[in-house]
Amino acid sequence: MLELLVDRQFQISVLVALAAIATVYTLVEPFLVKDRLAERMKGVADYRERLRQQQRASFAKKSGLRNTPQGMMKEVADNLRLFEIFDAAEARKQLMQAGYRGEKAVVVFMTIRLAVPFGIALLIGVYVYALDDLGLDSFGQLLATMGGFFAGFYLPVIYMQNIKQKRQGLLQLAWPDSLDLLLICVESGMSIELALQKVSVEVGEGCPELAEELGLTVAELSYLQERRQAYMNFAERTGLEAVKAMTTALVQSEKYGTPLGQSLRVLAEESRLERMQEAERKAAALPPKLTVPMIGFFLPVLFAVIIGPAVLGVMGIEAP
């Protein structure tokens, strides 16, 4: 093996192979990168198509036609009454704020909430009863299995909450700049639909999530009968107080004729101030978070460097 490693021909072959692999990866890598903005805009187009289909379905329902296809998960959820047990309305709202829309997402989430507790309880039961590595008695084994069941019941909810908070953080970060762009578009004479569409295109590269929400709002403004409902849906999908304030300003502007530009200017300033305060809060919370790593990792090394030579001198060992 050592002779093979020091062989000059083998080393040249390895370098040539690595260079060939790097060349192939460089050529193929651009085709593997996904366009997040294109995927989000495709979601907006799909949502617009669903709105058209809902209108057609409402017309068909009024005319007496019925078409209610159901899959296996939908049948299981209906038969077990999961929509009533797990509060389908609240689950639909949480999924919407996390970026998952449609009845299919609700059905899948309900099915996961039903299956995960039994799956985790089964795995823990097999581990504590069959393998018996922990040395638990019968009551401890039962307690561990039940604990796994209850943990599995809340794991999907915790996972969904984490996704929702990360998405809201991205929206909150890009919202002040979007309000500035919206203010410029409105004061230039654009209608609110064109302004929202323009802002969605401009912020698409930086925050595809916000571009998607703005695109959905434009689609709802085009197809819903009440514009107020489109604004309220926008606020509900994001779950941000800043967005709720903006939608309230839009509703009041259309209802009472109040100047929209002044309201957007004030809201943009408040949003920038909130973003700065959030950054300052995170910066102020950094020293306490660094206390434990410093005590656990830096101080022992520092003590070893300072006290080490003295200890070696007492022991009669010369320090290197």
User: pLDDT tens digit string along 263-293?
Assistant: 888 888 888 888 888 888 888 888 888 888 8
Within 8 A by CB and 6+ apart from 271, the residues are 175, 176, 179, 242
Q: Whole-angstrom Cα distance, residue 302 to residue 294? A: 10
Count of CA atoms in the C-beta half-sphere (13 A) of 281: 6
Residue 162: per-residue pLDDT: 92
Residue 256: per-residue pLDDT: 82
Residue 128: per-residue pLDDT: 79
Q: Residues in the chain with pLDDT < 70?
A: 1-2, 4-6, 30-41, 43-44, 47-49, 51-87, 132-135, 317-320
pTM value is: 0.65
Residue 62: per-residue pLDDT: 39
Residue 157: per-residue pLDDT: 86
How many other C-beta atoms can be found within 10 angstroms of the C-beta atom of residue 179? 23
